[in-house]
Every structure is written in structure tokens, then in C-alpha cells.
Copies of this chain bind each other. A is one copy, B any other.
């Protein structure tokens, strides 16, 4: 019998599995758990038709027969992808961001982009990843798997706590460690729903530059904004310190498994200055050779058809998700009738994305999650599942992206009754529901 590394037994590596398990165990429950886009909004059949239509163009051979073009696309190809020009044009038109296509690395979803960054930029014995807390587990669990140390700093309503970040950096340097990069989701963070303010963005970039630290800007939800004007991307504020991680899972559909990283920051390899895309390409070729060119071309076909602007398409999605967010917030106003200032029950109002954080005046643990599912048939996720240690234990994440309208009000009504009775039992004072 072969022993595998203890690392694979770390609970953080199971957190995604845990979510699946609870949903399968209570299939009849109203679930605010999975942070998934709504499949009703996917346009897969149309996308495959567009793939056939635009395949010769994507290949650069407009006159070629469709079947021959598809066959050529399906051959082995460029490690960093074949649709870099299309992605660059979309970023320019939708975000005003200029990135040299040669430095884009197309990946198997954004997760592979993260994995490649950890593989290429970190020497585990020396380099540390700082991440906002609560945090998307996909990055911290990947770091754990690769033996890379992670350090949390608090994510506040207006973004990363910069004082805490400064202190963490100084503490690491005193230990002889190198704070290599900060991971953050500035727009509609998963899990919190928080958005980093303009001022914090500017100060964060300045701090990263002073400290010679990269920022990994993960931005899967950014185009799903339901109100207000977007602050600039961190990547737009300081192109040299920021690696942008992009995804089409929420704007088109996850089954594409297409993400990317901007590999235009410069790094030093054995004394030679090279773009990150060059070293990332080496890691990419060894993790998966390349990303399915057929899925890449399916995405490119949509971009071509839409003039490389996703704005109009995303506006339809935003209407859909905005409606669910508003329904969730309204249901909470209606059913969570606890005094805001004294009850300990409060929540945020995300300007976009899929997630709301609800604070309660008692510990909302995995056990509490199970009890809530068993007694009122509602599933939410403890925020502690996204924490490094024991912080954030009195809060939960509610996803509104995939909950049917009819279930939102009823789900919140039941959740409110659970909170009331659990608080009473645990001796918390909620005040009198009105």
C-alpha cells in the first residue's frame, strides 16, 4: 500500500466536495448554496452553430469548407491558445484595457490560470501568497496542495484592509519570507459579495508597487454589475504589478472551461528578463498541453458574432440576476425583521455578482448548516468554509444566482424562522421580530 502525502488529507481540499454532498443529501431543500450561473441563460446550441459558421475565419482561412476547418482546429496547436487576438479585442472594447495578445495565456478555466501562477511564480520554501479573507478556496487549496504558505488579510466592505496588508508584509519579511502576490476578487467577491472602492484600488496598487508584490486580480463576475458605475480594473491602474485572471464561465457558460491570464508582467528567469507568458507557457504545456481549441473557437465565434463586445449579451444576464438579487434583498427585509443595530443580524447589498453575506449572532458552523437543512429544508454555506482559520464563524453566504424566483421568498422565510429559533436556543438576543 502506498502512502500519499498528508497534504491531500487537509480539510480545505474537501470543502468543494462538502458542498456537493450537502446538496445531494437534501435534494428537496431550497438551496442558496451553489455559486453557479443559471443554465437557462446559456446559449450552447447557438454557440456550436456559430462555431461551424466562423471556424474558417478563426483559422485564418475564410474560404475553407466547414468540416475541413473544424478538423484543422481540432489538431494539436499553440500552447498559449489560438484565440488570444479575440480575447484581447473583447478586453479592449468592453473594458478599455490594452493587452498585447501575444502575452495572453488561454487556460482550462480560470482555475488552471491560478494553478499555473502558483507553479511558475512561487518557490514554496520562500514565497508566500497573501489573500483576502474570507477567500475563494480554489486558490488557497491549490497553494496548500503545492506546499505554498498562505497568509490572510481581512476583506472589508470597501476592499482589502491595507493596514493589515502592510503589517503582514513586514512580518513576512522579518521571517525571511517573500510576500509574492496578493490574491483578491475586487468586483463582487466570492464569497462576500463586497466590491473594492476606487480609493482602495489606487492605494492597493501603490502599495503593491512599493513592495514589489504582484496582485492576482480574479475577475469572473465583473461584467455582471446591477447598478452603479464600475471602478477601474486593478490591471488598468497598474499594468506592471497586476496579473488579470479572466473567465467566460459566468458570461457565457462554464462548460467552455475557458479562462485566461494576462502574462505581460516581466519576470526574471536565470538573470534574463522575460514576460510571464513565456514561463507560464512552459507550465501550461506540462499541465495540459493546451486548452481545447474547439472550445476556444466556440468562444471566439461568439465574440466575432457580437463584434467582440459582450456588453449587450451581458445586459440580459444582468437583468436576470439583478431581479434575483432584488428579490432576495426584499425577502430579507420582509422576513428578517430583527432590529438592525442590536440583533446582530445584518447583511450587505452587493452591486453585482452572485453572493450576499448574512451575519447572525451565533456560530453558523457546518453542523448549523446541516441542522438548517434538516429542520427547515434550506441550505446556505457557512462563511467559515471560506476562511483560513476560525474567523467569519458568525456568517453565511447566500447565492441568489441559481434559485428559482418562487423559492427565494419561501427560502428566506424559513431561514428567518431557523435563525430565530436557533438564536433563542443558543441564548442570543435578537430583539423582538416586528
A348 interface residue per 8 A CB criterion: no
Contact (A2, B255) CB under 8 Å given A42-B74, A70-B44, A286-B145: no
Most chain B beta-carbon neighbours within 10 Å: one of A17, A115, A214, A294: A294
* Bound: A287/B17 CA distance, A: 15
Which chain B positions have C-beta within 8 A of A281?
17
Q: Which residue of B lies closest to A41 (CB)?
A: B71
A66 interface residue per 8 A CB criterion: yes
A341 interface residue per 8 A CB criterion: no
Is the pair B2, A121 in contact by a Cβ cutoff of 8 Å?
yes
Which chain B positions have C-beta within 8 A of A334?
none
A314 interface residue per 8 A CB criterion: no
* Bound: A102/B115 CA distance, A: 26
A273 interface residue per 8 A CB criterion: yes
Q: In angstroms, how far is the closest chain B Cβ from the Cβ of A383?
A: 20
Most chain B beta-carbon neighbours within 10 Å: one of A141, A273, A279: A279
Report A30-54 residues with CB < 8 Å from chain B CB.
34, 36-37, 39-40, 42-45, 48, 51-52
Q: Which of B249, B253, B279, B286 contacts A71 (CB 8 A)?
A: B253
A202 interface residue per 8 A CB criterion: no
A268 interface residue per 8 A CB criterion: yes
Instruction: Mark contacts of A238-275 with chain B using CB atoms, 8 A cut-off: 1 yes-contact digit, 0 otherwise.
Output: 00000000000100011111000000001111100100
Which chain B positions have C-beta within 8 A of A2?
121, 180, 212, 214, 267-268
Contact (A286, B138) CB under 8 Å given A71-B42, A121-B4: yes
Chain A interface, DSSP helix/strand/loop, else mixed: helix
Give the interface segment out of A7-15, A188-196, A318-326.
A7-15
Give the size category of A's interface with B: 35 or more
Contact (A287, B76) CB under 8 Å given A2-B180, A2-B268, A4-B120: no
Which chain B positions have C-beta within 8 A of A293?
255
* Bound: A377/B13 CA distance, A: 52
Give the interface segment out of A89-97, A105-113, A159-167, A412-420.
A105-113
A295 interface residue per 8 A CB criterion: yes
Q: Which 10 A-B pairs have the closest CB atoms?
A: A74-B255, A44-B70, A42-B71, A45-B67, A74-B253, A9-B270, A108-B288, A257-B292, A142-B286, A13-B282
26 contacts between A and B (CB under 8 A): A4-B120, A5-B120, A8-B279, A36-B76, A39-B71, A39-B72, A39-B74, A40-B71, A42-B74, A42-B75, A43-B71, A44-B71, A44-B73, A44-B74, A45-B71, A71-B253, A74-B255, A108-B257, A108-B288, A112-B288, A115-B286, A115-B287, A254-B289, A257-B290, A294-B295, A295-B295
List chain A positions with a Cβ less than 8 A from chain B.
1-6, 8-9, 13-14, 16-17, 34, 36-37, 39-40, 42-45, 48, 51-52, 66-67, 70-76, 79, 108-109, 111-112, 115, 119-123, 138, 141-142, 145, 180, 212, 214, 249, 253-257, 266-270, 273, 279, 281-283, 285-295, 298
